[in-house]
Structure 1
Amino acid sequence: MSEPTQNSQDVASGHFSSLLKHWRNVRRLTQIELASDANVSARHLCFLETGRSQPSRDMVQLLGSVLDLPLEERNALHVAAGFVPPYGDKGLAAENLQPVRQALDFMLRQQEPYPGIVIDGHWDVRMRNRGSSRLLMPFRDAFDMEGDLGNNAMHAVFHPGGLRQFMVNWAEFAGQLIRILHREVAQGSRASAKLLDEISAYPGVSAEWRLPGHASASSPVMTMQLAKGDYRLSFFSTFTTLAMPTDAVLQQIKIECFFPADEATAEMARQLAASDTGDQHAFSYG
């Protein structure tokens, strides 16, 4: 299971001192080291951690920056100190994010005829292009998963009733994804810590994967090899994130683009695209 010291979900909300000490310990800093990095006195930092002093908004902002917290956690730190969170977190459907949605839509269209998806901080798929629907639908139609789990990229890979049953190289591919989750947990993602616990409970998940630092991948490019009867696909994928976002939701967004790893997959994508008369994209926002 994931280590509880890696995220703040179990730290009492509303207590700035507890959160500050929590994150200093996660970053493996002494009070003197953090005080030096923030250019404040060690005495003042000690008073903040014990609750003897209350921080200003500027101090909260400074400490969140020095601790290199995700924007979601900087929001939590502000709320714990009694301030309005400075970074937006209303979801991808927020009115002010319309230009971003248009940009994401454009990127997915450019990925045609190959699959492209947009994943949020919970690893839920929020947008997908027609290439994704065309090529992966035969597998998705055969999912045997509860509720909306099939729309979560991590659950879809690790659940025995999801893509896992069709993935020829599942152990290799899943091990790579676990490493990504461990990195996100170490960076402070509460959602990734929860996901790591959930998928670790699935049967067949290696006990080694439940701990950070397990063996690294042997290949620089990890392929996803799928087979359902005679229908076979092989992809490698890339992740793209948004540069310098000032919105907590956007900081967690990932655009995953799938590229054919062999000519047979590329030809299948072209053939299905040529016979597709539907819309060029399909998406939802959350």
Structure 2
Amino acid sequence: MDASSAAELGELVRNWRRRRKLSQLELASRAEVSARHLSFIENGRAKPSRDLVLRLSEHLEVPVRQRNTLLVAAGYAPQYEESPLGTPRLSAVKSSIDRLLRAHEPYPALVFNVHETVVAMNDAARRLMAGASPELLTPPINLMRLALHPQGLSQYVVNKAEMRAQMLARLHRQMVNSGSEKLMKLYDEVANYPHVPGPEGNGGGGEEVLSCLIVHKHNTELRLFSTVTTFGAATDITVAELSLEMFHPADARTADALKAAAVQDMSAQMPAPIGV
């Protein structure tokens, strides 16, 4: 480990510590190392063991992709592989995703990665996205661009300002937590989209316990809330960066409209009967 690598590692550790708003003493205590040794690491004067790099990464909540960067800077081999979702190695993960997407029909569900790129979706999600600009629906689909662009889903959203604020807040959290320059550029792009605030509706006030996305689709006003699921203790970068977002009907009218849209879509896809 040469001086430049030691300095790079030290700067990386220091930047992550500051991003997590921890003092050297707090991080040292959590990682069970002396504050003096941690100070030497951050100043490029000491080389940590592989185990210590991983412990520091764990307590700093460094994403697995960036943990590899820390390991390499310290002179060690990367620990986490990155496998395409379609490879046999991830067949169990892909099967689980496909099963969850199908099971959630007729309600929308989709899977996206750390850069907000959609990697899978069910038919209900496709129906919800219908009407957006074809350019925004051309793979790879970026969820933030699709949601916030004036020609995207925002044109159907009733509570536009509320939805926009929530999406930008989510993207900002991911940007800060990951330290990704790609997300920083995405945030700058979508935050500067022109937007015209529409009627707010009631996205989460009154007797509701969850903030809802209110969107005019399927000839009615749909009220949806969502849950986001991630894979626990993932040791593959691809899996660690995946999130499954499932939209749920907030009232009976929304549930009925989504069920009816699914039936109508299925009927449209059925071949016409052969005349006798």
Alpha-carbon distance between aligned partners in 2 of 1:144 and 1:231, rounded to the nearest angstrom: 23
In 2 relative to 1, CA 119–205 (structure 1 residues): closer, same or farther, beyond 3 Å?
farther
Alpha-carbon distance between aligned partners in 1 of 2:179 and 2:88, rounded to the nearest angstrom: 25
**Matching of residues 14-29 of structure 1 within 5 Å:** 15-29=8-22
In 2 relative to 1, CA 14–89 (structure 1 residues): closer, same or farther, beyond 3 Å?
farther
Q: Aligned pair 1:60/2:53, yes or no?
A: yes
Alpha-carbon distance between aligned partners in 1 of 2:48 and 2:100, rounded to the nearest angstrom: 42
In 2 relative to 1, CA 27–261 (structure 1 residues): closer, same or farther, beyond 3 Å?
closer
Q: 2:178 corresponds to which letter in structure 1?
A: G
Determine the structure 2 residue equivalent to 1:160.
Answer: 150
Alpha-carbon distance between aligned partners in 1 of 2:188 and 2:75, rounded to the nearest angstrom: 31
Q: 2:234 corresponds to which letter in structure 1?
A: P
Alpha-carbon distance between aligned partners in 2 of 1:229 and 1:40, rounded to the nearest angstrom: 59
TM normalised by structure 2 equals 0.80
Return the offset for 1:150.
Answer: 7.8
Structure 2 residues without counterparts, runs of 5 or longer: 198-203, 271-276
Return the offset for 1:250.
Answer: 1.7
Structure 1 residues without counterparts, runs of 5 or longer: 1-11, 207-216, 280-286
Identity across the alignment (%): 36
Determine the structure 1 residue equivalent to 2:184.
Answer: 193
| Superposed CA RMSD | 2.9
Higher RCO (CA 8 Å, separation ≥ 6 residues)? 1
Return the offset for 1:92.
Answer: 2.4
**Matching of residues 126-137 of structure 1 within 5 Å:** 126-133=119-126, 135-137=127-129
Count residues with an aligned counterpart: 255
Determine the structure 2 residue equivalent to 1:233.
Answer: 222
Alpha-carbon distance between aligned partners in 2 of 1:84 and 1:34, rounded to the nearest angstrom: 24
Determine the structure 1 residue equivalent to 2:34.
Answer: 41
Q: Which range moves more in the overlay, 50-59 or 159-168? A: 50-59
In 2 relative to 1, CA 14–100 (structure 1 residues): closer, same or farther, beyond 3 Å?
farther
**Matching of residues 1-286 of structure 1 within 5 Å:** 15-133=8-126, 135-140=127-132, 143=133, 145=135, 148=138, 151-190=141-180, 191-204=182-195, 220-227=209-216, 230=219, 232-275=221-264, 276=266
User: Is the CA contact 2:230–2:243 (under 8 Å) kept in the aligned structure 1?
Assistant: yes
Return the offset for 1:60.
Answer: 1.0
Return the offset for 1:22.
Answer: 1.0
State the 4+ residue runs in structure 1 displaced beyond 6 angstroms: none
Q: 1:121 corresponds to which letter in structure 2?
A: V
In 2 relative to 1, CA 189–101 (structure 1 residues): closer, same or farther, beyond 3 Å?
farther
Return the offset for 1:174.
Answer: 1.7
Determine the structure 2 residue equivalent to 1:9.
Answer: none
- Once the two structures are superposed, residues 138-193 of structure 1 have per-residue CA deviations (whole angstroms, 9 ceiling, x without a partner) of 323xx164684882111111111211112111111121222222332342351543
In 2 relative to 1, CA 229–43 (structure 1 residues): closer, same or farther, beyond 3 Å?
closer
Alpha-carbon distance between aligned partners in 2 of 1:100 and 1:150, rounded to the nearest angstrom: 20
Q: 2:128 corresponds to which letter in structure 1?
A: L
Q: Which range moves more in the overlay, 222-231 or 83-92? A: 222-231
Q: 1:202 corresponds to which letter in structure 2?
A: Y
Alpha-carbon distance between aligned partners in 1 of 2:171 and 2:228, rounded to the nearest angstrom: 13
Alpha-carbon distance between aligned partners in 2 of 1:131 and 1:151, rounded to the nearest angstrom: 16
Q: Rg bigger for which structure?
A: 2
Matched residue SS, 1:266: helix
- Once the two structures are superposed, residues 187-223 of structure 1 have per-residue CA deviations (whole angstroms, 9 ceiling, x without a partner) of 23515434322212222399xxxxxxxxxx7564222
Return the offset for 1:121.
Answer: 1.0
Alpha-carbon distance between aligned partners in 1 of 2:147 and 2:13, rounded to the nearest angstrom: 35
Alpha-carbon distance between aligned partners in 2 of 1:228 and 1:29, rounded to the nearest angstrom: 46
Matched residue SS, 1:256: strand
Alpha-carbon distance between aligned partners in 1 of 2:134 and 2:102, rounded to the nearest angstrom: 29
